[in-house]
Amino acid sequence: MLNNKIDSFLNFMSVERGASENTISSYKTDLLQFSNFVTQLSETSNKDNSGTVSPAGIRKFALNLGSIGLKASTRSRKIASVRSFFTFLHDEGLIDSNPAQEISLLKLGRSLPHVITIEQAIRLVSTPTSRVSSHIAVRDEAMLQLAYASGLRVTELVNLDTDDLDMEHKRVRCLGKGRKERVVPFHDQAAKRIEEYLRSSRHNIVKYQTKKALFLNQRGFRITRQGFWGILRKYSKLAAIPTKITPHTLRHSFATHMLQGGAPIRHVQELLGHASISTTQIYTHLTTEFMREEYESTHPRAKRKPNFVKSFH
């Protein structure tokens, strides 16, 4: 019975809230895990025959998440999913009281996103065609160049169709979270790689079923998120970048490098498709550290810290 309510919640989040497929998938995973857990507790009356869940059952679920070794961020997300679920049920009148109302979220320290340097980013996105001469290498470089040039999320990147591109004005239209549309520019170098891919490579691998998809895999179908992740791992290794890179690393690096170059934070917020500027502001911490490093390496007195500090007393 609880699973039926989960289906109603997921439908609500998709239809009414416009949540992305990835968000819906995360909710489903978290809530099915919760449903399985409380089902196993049925003999202790934390879940009765009508599918009612008690606050104690939710607390035990939260404790169990810690006991199985999940990271604090993952545990917090799963608890938040359960809270959102029961808030929906209560608001819809499907339950008389909200058992998750008093369940607190974990307090997490805010971690800074991982970025690579400008030099590493340029080396990465230029690696495919410098190492291999093939249709696939041309595709890979076009994808990497566009990802770093635009800051698109990986889902936005792989879901692009050919008619989302405006090559004349060098911009791309994408659907972000909540199916909100935005238009993002890209630079000349990315445009050249995309044009080369469209002109000389894409038609060699396209299939009828995916004739609109921009980026295709070797079988001619739309490339997946996992497929792009594999491309990124391959070329980060070839580019000898000594750090782990994920698709989001390019997005983080795009935002950080834009701010380092002097772009207004509101501009970067719009390019990233952030609903709130507070989400974008985390990148200012990274640029502050960048300015400190630049100061230490360029100011003639910076390396004489004792004298520099004394001058302020």
Report CA 221 to chain centroid distance, whole Å.
23
Q: What is the pLDDT along the chain (313 residues), one digit of tens a residue?
A: 688 899 999 998 988 788 888 889 999 999 999 999 888 876 554 444 345 688 888 888 888 887 787 888 888 899 999 999 999 998 888 888 898 887 776 655 556 678 899 999 999 999 998 887 888 999 999 999 999 999 999 999 999 999 999 999 999 999 887 788 999 999 999 999 999 999 988 988 777 666 899 999 988 889 999 999 999 999 999 999 988 888 888 999 999 898 888 888 888 899 998 888 877 887 776 676 666 665 666 666 655 443 333 332 3
Ranges for all domains in the chain classified under CATH 1.10.443.10: 118-296
The CATH class given to the 118-296 domain equals mainly alpha
- Note if 248 is an active site residue: yes
**What was the pLDDT predicted at 280?**
83
Is 173 considered catalytic here?
no
The two tokens of residue 244 are 């782990």
Query: Per the residue annotation, which of 248, 303, 304, 305 is the catalytic one?
Result: 248
Residue 222 is a catalytic residue: no
CA-CA distance, 253 to 153, in Å (whole number)?
Answer: 12
Respond yes or no: is residue 182 known to be catalytic: no
Whether 274 sits among the annotated catalytic residues: the reply is: yes
CATH 1.10.150 intervals, the chain: 2-91
Q: pTM (2 decimals)?
A: 0.61
Topology of domain 2-91, CATH: DNA polymerase; domain 1 (1.10.150)
Q: Which residue among 75, 123, 251, 252 is the active-site one?
A: 251
pLDDT the model gives residue 309: 34
Per the annotation, the verdict on 170 as an active-site residue is: no
Query: Active-site residue among 153, 222, 252, 257?
Result: 153
Do residues 164 and 172 touch, judged by C-beta distance below 8 A? Answer: yes
Say if CB 86 and CB 98 are below 8 A apart.
yes
